[in-house]
Each structure stands twice: as structure tokens, then as C-alpha cells.
Amino acid sequence: MIKQEEAIGIYFHIPFCISKCPYCDFNSIAVSPIPEKKYTQALIEEIDYSVKYSLKSLGKRKVASIFFGGGTPSLFYPDSIAKCIEKVLSLFSPGPDMEVTLEVNPKTADRKKLNELCAGGINRLSIGVQSFQDRFLKNLGRAHDSSDAVRVLEDAKMVGFSNISLDLIFGIPDQTLIDWERDLDYALSVNPEHLSVYNLTIEEKTPFRELQRQGEIILPDEDTQVRMYGLAQEMLSEAGYEQYEISNYASPGFRCTHNEGYWIFKEYLGFGAGAHSYLREGLYGKGWGTRWKNETDPFEYISRLSDECSVITDKEQLTKEEAIKEAIFLGLRRMEGICLDDFEDRFGLSLEHTFSGVIPYLLQEGLISIVMGRLKLTNKGILLSNEVFLAFF
């Protein structure tokens, strides 16, 4: 049976944007007008449908976190966001210090909207700044400029938000180490409680990939990108931030509860077009976990729910091997690494014995370490994390 005492995470996917960034491969679209009213109603209907038909066993579970991601959730009116929060709390119980996050594009939120979001239950903002320099925002195809970013930060603090996260990107075309240091300096000057620092990755099926093939965009070389990552580690550590995951840094007490839930295998429910869900023991209390995914097209998603049809398009029962793979991949992303005793308790296997042909090699290469019963990436291993993950599988 599912442990009734464990709090779950709730994710709402809002797939609409002002414009589609050329590096983005998320499930998002730019449309006008945005069908906000119909989509919000569909979210409410999906929650009702799920609890009525497929999630009866969850009962009155506590909620550790609610996260509105996208896309650009801050395009929606605060009333729409509040309706989703109210619906969750009508069926589930708020956990202690429940975290409620909304992703914000600086172009889409003014002081009035932020004040209403705060009053409606949002207590954490994740602001997609990416850079404080206009030429790099232009290179990234962002809809906002640096003045928008500065303004939304000031407004957020003015209306009472005390848990703010900033997203920054490094490895942008034409960006130098000095440019990156300027972005970090400014970010630290505004004292956010949390920072997510991402290396720009060129994904398939994006405009950036085609431009890269044509030689029209060139990223900083690998050595420069490695130095950029190291500079972020150094500057944020000196400023008192704890690096708790490969890309995430927090002031004491301000880790992202929702994202940590993903990394430590807590259960979560996703609502919206393309949203994913995970129950550790499966819908029927068997196996190594059940995952499912919703219809990705938002208009088809709305249509299915208006016809009282399920929006689930893919469902899988994880095998033990798949669960082990995820435990290693997600565990090594965290700076705390993998507790070897916990791994053995969960899977009935010794990680060191199961991967006796891999772990000694990674230790010898200085990519991992084993300290006080925890296997974790070294600094070198963090920079070469993809190679480490591939070595296991």
C-alpha cells in the first residue's frame, strides 16, 4: 500500500509562451489568444477526473509542494492560478510549510500581478532571468530585456516575496568568462534565496541546432565553459550558497522542495498538457513504480477533458533495472550523492558489487568518491557527469 503519511508534489504545466525561445525543447507553444479560461477549466477537470477514477487510493494525502511550470505560467491571471491551488487544497491537505512556486518570465509580471499572486497562495518565485545583459538575452531569443529583470526583482521583494530563485545560463554564443562573472556579480548583489545555473545545451529539433549546423552560432569552447561552471561554484560558495545539486544553489533553508522531491524519488502528480506523474509503488501497490504522461497538445488536452476522456497517453510500470538506473542517475546529481546502505535496503543489492566493473574505474579516474558510506561525484565528475552516467549503463 502507498504510505499515506508521505507528502507528495503537485505539478501544473502551463505550455503557453509569448514566443518560443530558439534553444527551448520543452513542451510549449506561442499562440494568440491564449485559451486561458478553457485550459484552467481543463486543469480543474483533470484533477477531478483523476481523483475520481485512477487515484482513489491516494486519499487525503498531504502536499509538500505545488509547482507551476511551463511554458510561461506568469502569462495567466492570478485568479486562474489561485483556482488551481484551491482545487488541490479541496482534495488534499497542505503539508507543513507547503512550498508553492510559479515560474515567471520578467516580461509578463508587473507589481499588481505579483501582489495578487502572493495573495493567492504563491510563496516562491522562479524567475527566468538567464542574463542581466541585453546582448545575451537577444542571442537567446528572450522576450524580456535586462530592465524587465531588474524591475520584476524589485517588485517581487516590494510586494513581500521572501523566497526568490533566479535562473541563469552560461555558455551563450559570444559570452566570455568576464561576461559571465558580470552576470554572477549582479545576481549576487540582489541576494536571491536560490539560484539555478544552467549550461546552454543545444537540443535536437530546435532552431539553435539548425543554426549550429550552419555555423551561424558558435558556443564558447569547452575549456571556457568548464571555467564558467567553476567560477559559479567559487563565487556562489563564497557568498554563502550551498550547492546541493549539479545546477542548483541555495541559501540555508531555501532548497527547492519540489525539485528535491524528484531527485529523492518522492511521489508527484502532474496536471496539464504533457505533464508527468510518478507513484513509487504503482497504482496497484506492485512493482518498482508507475509513471504516466499526458497528451502534449494543449488543444487536444482541453478537448479530451471536455468530453470526459482520460488525457493519459503513455503509462509504464518500471522494472527493477529501470528503477536502479534512475536511482543512480538522480542520486549522483545531488551533492550528497547516494547512500550505499539506503540503496542496498531498497534494492537488496550492493551498489559496489553490482557495478564492480565500473566503480573502481571511476574512482581511479577521479570522477567519483566514496566518503562515509556515500558515493558521489567529484568536481571533475560533475563536469563530466554525462560520461559517468553512461559508464553505469
pLDDT tens-digit series, residues 297-311: 999 999 999 988 889
**Structural domain for 361, as ranges:** 323-392
**pLDDT surpassing 70 at residue 143:** yes
pLDDT of residue 5: 60
CATH number of residue 347's parent domain: 1.10.10.920
* 286 is a domain residue: no
pLDDT of residue 50: 86
Please answer whether residues 241 and 250 qualify as being in contact, where contact means their C-beta atoms are separated by less than 8 angstroms: yes
* 269 is a domain residue: no
pLDDT of residue 56: 60
Q: Which of 144-153, 261-270, 285-294 has the lowest mean pLDDT?
A: 285-294
**pLDDT surpassing 50 at residue 173:** yes
Mean pLDDT across the chain: 92
Residues 242 and 342 in one domain: no
Residues 106 and 245 in one domain: yes
**pLDDT surpassing 90 at residue 42:** yes
Residues 143 and 19 in one domain: yes
Residue that is last in its domain, among 262, 289, 305: 262
Residue that is last in its domain, among 262, 279, 305: 262
CATH number of residue 166's parent domain: 3.20.20.70
Please answer whether residues 40 and 83 qualify as being in contact, where contact means their C-beta atoms are separated by less than 8 angstroms: yes
Residues 219 and 328 in one domain: no
Kindly provide the residue ranges of all beta strands, DSSP E only, lying in the chain, ordered along the sequence.
Answer: 8-14, 16-17, 29-30, 62-70, 93-104, 124-130, 164-170, 194-199, 242-245, 248-250, 268-271, 276-279, 290-294, 312-317, 338-339, 368-371, 374-377
Q: DSSP letter string over 175-240?
A: --HHHHHHHHHHHHHT--SEEEEEE----TTSHHHHHHHTTS--PPPHHHHHHHHHHHHHHHHHTT
**pLDDT surpassing 70 at residue 323:** yes
Residues 254 and 329 in one domain: no
pLDDT of residue 54: 65
* 291 is a domain residue: no
Residues 169 and 76 in one domain: yes
Residue 57 binned pLDDT confidence (cut-offs 50, 70, 90): low
Q: How many domains does the chain have?
A: 2
Please answer whether residues 258 and 350 qualify as being in contact, where contact means their C-beta atoms are separated by less than 8 angstroms: no
Please answer whether residues 375 and 354 qualify as being in contact, where contact means their C-beta atoms are separated by less than 8 angstroms: no
Give strand pairing partners of 126.
103, 165
**pLDDT surpassing 60 at residue 193:** yes
Please answer whether residues 338 and 376 qualify as being in contact, where contact means their C-beta atoms are separated by less than 8 angstroms: yes
Residues 368 and 258 in one domain: no
Residue 90 amino acid letter: S
* 86 is a domain residue: yes
* 136 is a domain residue: yes
Q: In the structure grid, which three cell numbers stand for residue 259, read together?
A: 525539485
Residue that is last in its domain, among 262, 277, 300: 262
Query: What is the spatial distance between Cα 369 and Cα 362, in angstroms, rounded to a whole number?
Result: 8
**pLDDT surpassing 70 at residue 2:** no
Residues 61 and 159 in one domain: yes
* 267 is a domain residue: no
Residues 227 and 373 in one domain: no
pLDDT of residue 120: 96
Residues 193 and 332 in one domain: no
Query: What is the spatial distance between Cα 282 and Cα 318, in angstroms, rounded to a whole number?
Result: 9
* 304 is a domain residue: no
Average pLDDT over residues 5-34: 92
* 22 is a domain residue: yes
pLDDT of residue 103: 98
pLDDT of residue 364: 94
Residues 59 and 200 in one domain: yes
User: Which 8-state DSSP code applies to residue 334?
Assistant: B
Query: What is the spatial distance between Cα 133 and Cα 299, in angstroms, rounded to a whole number?
Result: 36
pLDDT of residue 280: 80
